[in-house]
């Protein structure tokens, strides 16, 4: 297997983007190509979850490759639910590692705010089990809520811990110009104050409004290349050192231990093993906090903390900027935003920016090894990636 | 008419599946239609629950209650709840009713009540 | 003659009790004051509504153009028994809500316009308006319609409003929903909050001057974007002009503002 390097990156603001989806996908690709000074690529992967349903566009990859005038390069769309982004990176990794291609452009885009909030909720809910979950009105927030209740009962996680994740990530996003939410929040305003219940109402108890990520448009891109190509690019060298993926039962209620996210555990193990690292070697991580509880649980499942102790580490500030292992310096999905198909690429963009030392006010000091966890479904299809700075 | 929700029992090894699968998760039996439908029990224990207040547009109610129930035979299922004060671990009984109406399509599912 | 004609055109307002100001803490930890504004303050508000007329997203255009008309109608004495409440954070205008009293028993909710997003300011302001109708004035019910999906979700679904479809609403003649005292009482615990009296310095700061909103919704950088999305998915000519590709190569300098790609 050949080594694979990230030579260029690009991103849009995660907010509301009132452009055609193909242009949203193309814009970060242009930035990434300028970033590394590459004009031609061998192949494109376009990550997206809802183009055909939400944006009314099929065969997105053909539109994107043409928008970028990169024809006749091959192009494919990758759909793997909310893990589409990291899945597409994994495809790009395989293409370069196998020797099939030397330069692969992986871009991901989503335009969710094209539809109203009720339709966006329903669109994401269609990834649940059609017979055993969806027909009951199940949405991702409700699955997360039932999971949270089990976790609270078993491990003593409280609403305060969840609110702490939200406050931390809103604070981090203040230093990220691409983040969707530039709005600091306080524990008093969302939890303790006399009006907190109205500011932060229950959406699906025990989860409340500020436990959820916003609905965002957005796109991000990475360009992957072989060592020979990377040697010619004058940018700090970041290697995609490990990829891992695992699945779990489609219906959440079927899992043997309902508080485990086995797919996260297995995907993380693979991604770290391939890179030859331990969880404690990771300097900075982007975890998939579509719901605040997920940041806590994933931080345990990927191995940063013992099972059931993620919330204690959070209390001690270990996941904060400047802590032992800063999690979601970008603001995470919670505050940076969650354009579903683009999220995995957004995470990779942040980690590469961090490892290059170009994250400015949100820079994690001396970050050499970065990790991402892109969580598809409610944990039924998870892709993890390990990135390493090489000097 | 008594409506039922079915689990699927592997003819080869007896493993119960809910929801349906094409191949057995235990013995990986690869025969087409190798399952017998078995009605799911209606009694069980509530494991976790929520009151969901953001619903898809086809619902005309402000919220619904959802829960995961461990049935008597050990199978777990997700269903709607109609329980004033749900508690983890409480005994529940289910009945099959309309859980969703999407356009002209009516969907039936298990609705759980507090066990008498 | 002119004076007499104005007398005919100008409705006579009935005396209704004023809305007692209240304050609350929002999610950011800041304190927000909701108070009734006088007719004389309307010219201070209009300039902040006008730019929103050009924001298509989330139906800001139709709501703000109507709010503008209603505020002007109030200022120039063309709407009977109208009132306007504003929400202010650090003096900055955060929301405008208005309505009118059709009869002593029946209220009509007109509009709710949030100028700062993401803190549930609109919900607070709407609740204050309902409080005015039902608690302060003591009306029996308030007729409501939504012009946007966000409004529909907030009012019709969260409050679970009663249907009064036989009554066409003043806004567009569409079937009305109604908030009754009974429904309001149910929502009181979770949706209706606020503390009184407002501390003197806080109220003084709010009354002193209505400051412009710090981050109001803005129109997309390309007004044609929505149209192009439907009609011309690869219309790159306009796009290239706008993106000004000559921007510095360092991508961290690009983007960042809401609405720019």
Task: Write down the number of H helices and E strands in chain C.
Answer: 9, 8
A199/C234 touch (CB, cutoff 8 Å), yes or no: no
Q: What is the CATH number of the domain that holds A102?
A: 3.40.47.10
Which residues in chain C are contacts of A190 at CB distance < 8 A?
27
Domain count, chain A: 1
Distance, in Å, from the CA atom of C5 to the CA atom of C141, rounded to the nearest integer, reads: 34
Q: For residues C123 and C154, what is the distance between their CA atoms, to the nearest angstrom? A: 7
Q: Do the domain assignments include residue A163? A: no
Q: Is A69 part of any domain?
A: yes
Best CA proximity match to C88, nearest among C217, C206, C203? C206
pLDDT in tens, C100-150: 999 999 999 999 999 998 888 998 999 999 999 999 999 999 999 988 777
Whether A7 and A227 have beta carbons less than 8 Å apart is answered as no
ipTM score assigned to the predicted complex: 0.95
Q: Which residues of chain A have pLDDT under 70?
A: none
Which residue of C lies nearest to A350 if distances are taken between CA atoms? C252
3-state helix, strand, coil in chain B (%, to 5): 0, 50, 50
Residues contacting residue A276 through CB under 8 Å, at least 6 positions apart:
A241
d(CA C145, CA C177): 6
Of A139, A206, A254, the CB nearest to B54: A139
Lowest mean pLDDT among A242-246, B53-57, B89-93, C9-13: B53-57
State the CB neighbour count (10 A cutoff) for residue A176: 28
Residue A89 lies in a domain: yes
Among C24, C220, C261, the residue with its CB nearest the CB of A195 is C24
Tell me if chain A has a CB within 8 Å of the CB of B2.
no
By residue range, what is the domain housing residue A34? 4-116+215-232
Which of B51, B57, B62 best tests the C interface by mutation, with the highest count of C CBs <10 A? B62
Q: Tell me, yes or no, if A298 comes closer than 8 A to chain C by beta carbon.
A: no
Return the pLDDT at C221.
59
Options 3.90.1150.10, 3.40.190.10, 3.40.640.10, 3.40.630.30; CATH for C2-208 is: 3.40.630.30
Residue-level pLDDT at B33: 80
**How many C-beta atoms surround the C-beta of residue A79 within 10 A?**
17
Our CA-based measurement puts residue A268 at a distance from the nearest CA of chain B, in whole angstroms, of 24
Q: Tell if the CB–CB gap between C259 and A16 is shorter than 8 Å.
A: yes
A114–C233 C-beta distance less than 8 A? no
pLDDT > 90? residue B66:
yes
What's the rounded Cα separation, in Å, for the pair A300 and A311?
9
Q: Is residue A146 in a domain?
A: no
Residues of chain C with pLDDT under 70: 1, 219-261
Report the candidate in A92, A125, A122, A118 with the shortest Cα–Cα distance to residue A107.
A92
Partner-chain residue, chosen from C123, C194, C252, that has the shortest CB–CB distance to A360: C252
| Residue ranges of domains in chain B | 6-39, 43-114
* pLDDT per position as a tens digit, A121-151: 899 999 999 999 999 999 999 999 999 999 9
Instruction: Verify whether the Cβ–Cβ distance A252 to B78 is below 8 Å.
Output: yes
List of chains touching B (3+ CB pairs within 8 A): A, C
**Chain B residue whose CA is closest to A133:** B78
B53: chain C residues, CB-CB within 8 Å? 158
Instruction: Give the pLDDT score at B103.
Output: 85
Q: How far is A206 from chain B (nearest CA, A)?
A: 7
Domain with CATH 3.40.630.30 in chain C: 2-208
pTM above 0.80, yes or no: yes
The verdict on B21 touching A (C-beta cutoff 8 Å) is no
């Amino acid at each position: 297997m050949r080594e694979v390097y990230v030579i260029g990156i690009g991103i849009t603001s995660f907010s509301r983007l009132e452009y055609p989806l193909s242009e949203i996908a193309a814009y970060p690709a242009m930035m990434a190509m300028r970033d590394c000074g590459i004009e031609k690529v061998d192949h494109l992967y376009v990550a997206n979850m809802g183009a055909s349903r939400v944006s009314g566009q099929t065969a997105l990859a053909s539109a994107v490759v043409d928008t970028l005038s990169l024809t006749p390069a091959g192009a494919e769309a990758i759909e793997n639910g909310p893990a589409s982004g990291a899945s597409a990176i994994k495809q790009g990794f395989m293409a370069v590692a196998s020797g099939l291609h030397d330069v692969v452009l992986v871009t991901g885009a989503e335009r969710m705010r094209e539809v109203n909030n009720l339709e966006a909720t329903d669109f994401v809910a269609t990834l649940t089990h059609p017979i055993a979950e969806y027909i009951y009105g199940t949405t991702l927030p409700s699955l997360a809520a039932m999971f949270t209740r089990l976790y609270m009962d078993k491990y003593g996680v409280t609403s305060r811990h969840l609110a702490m994740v939200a406050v931390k990530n809103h604070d981090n996003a203040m230093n990220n110009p691409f983040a969707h939410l530039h709005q600091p929040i306080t524990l008093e305003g969302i939890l303790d104050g006399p009006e907190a219940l109205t500011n932060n109402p229950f959406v699906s108890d025990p989860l409340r409004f500020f436990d959820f990520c916003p609905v965002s448009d957005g796109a991000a891109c990475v360009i992957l290349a072989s060592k020979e190509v990377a040697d010619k690019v004058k940018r700090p060298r970041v290697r995609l050192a490990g990829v891992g993926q695992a699945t779990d039962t489609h219906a959440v209620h079927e899992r043997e231990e309902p508080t485990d996210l086995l797919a996260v555990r297995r995907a993380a193990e693979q991604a770290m093993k391939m890179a030859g690292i331990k969880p404690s070697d990771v300097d900075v991580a982007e975890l998939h906090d579509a719901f605040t509880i997920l940041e806590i649980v994933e931080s345990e499942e990927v191995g940063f903390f013992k099972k059931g102790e993620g919330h204690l580490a959070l209390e001690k500030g270990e996941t904060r900027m400047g802590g032992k292992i800063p999690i979601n310096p970008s603001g995470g999905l919670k505050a940076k935003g969650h354009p579903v198909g683009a999220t995995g690429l957004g995470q990779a963009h942040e980690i590469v920016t961090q490892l290059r030392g170009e994250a400015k006010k949100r820079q994690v000091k001396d970050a050499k090894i970065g990790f991402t966890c892109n969580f598809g479904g409610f944990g039924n299809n998870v892709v993890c990636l390990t990135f390493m700075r090489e000097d | 008419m008594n409506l039922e929700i079915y689990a699927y029992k592997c003819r080869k090894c007896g493993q119960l599946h809910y929801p349906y699968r094409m191949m057995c998760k235990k013995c990986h039996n690869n025969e087409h239609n190798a399952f017998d439908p078995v009605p799911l029990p209606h009694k069980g224990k509530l494991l976790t629950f929520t009151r969901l207040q953001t619903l898809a547009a086809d619902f005309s109610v402000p919220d619904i209650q959802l829960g995961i129930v461990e049935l008597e035979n050990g199978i777990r299922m997700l269903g709607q709840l109609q329980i004033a004060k749900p508690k983890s671990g409480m005994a529940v009984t289910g009945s099959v009713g309309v859980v969703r109406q999407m356009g002209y399509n009516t969907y039936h599912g298990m609705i759980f009540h507090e066990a008498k | 003659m002119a004076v007499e004609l104005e007398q005919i055109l100008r409705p006579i307002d009935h005396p209704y009790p004023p809305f007692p100001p209240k304050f609350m803490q929002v999610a950011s930890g800041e304190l927000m004051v909701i108070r009734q504004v006088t007719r004389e303050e309307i010219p201070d508000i209009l300039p902040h509504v006008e730019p929103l007329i050009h924001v298509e997203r989330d139906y800001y255009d139709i709501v703000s153009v109507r709010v503008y008309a209603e505020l002007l109608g109030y200022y120039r004495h063309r709407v009977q028994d109208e009132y306007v409440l504003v929400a202010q954070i650090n003096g900055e205008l955060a929301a405008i809500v208005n309505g009118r009293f059709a009869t002593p028993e029946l209220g009509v909710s007109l509009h709710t316009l949030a100028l700062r997003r993401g803190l549930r300011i609109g919900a607070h302001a709407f609740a204050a308006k309902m409080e005015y109708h039902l608690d302060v004035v003591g009306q029996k019910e308030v007729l409501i319609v939504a012009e946007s999906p966000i409004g529909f979700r907030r009012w019709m679904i969260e409050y679970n409003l009663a249907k009064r479809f036989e009554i066409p609403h003043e806004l567009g003649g569409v079937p009305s929903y109604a908030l009754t005292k009974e429904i309001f009482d149910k929502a009181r615990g979770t949706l209706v909050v606020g503390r009184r009296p407002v501390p003197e310095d806080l109220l003084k700061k709010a009354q002193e001057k209505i400051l412009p909103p710090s981050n109001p919704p803005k129109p997309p950088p390309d007004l044609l974007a929505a149209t192009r999305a439907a009609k011309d998915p690869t219309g790159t000519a306009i796009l290239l002009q706008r993106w000004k590709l000559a921007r510095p190569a360092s991508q961290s300098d690009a983007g960042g503002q809401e609405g720019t790609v």
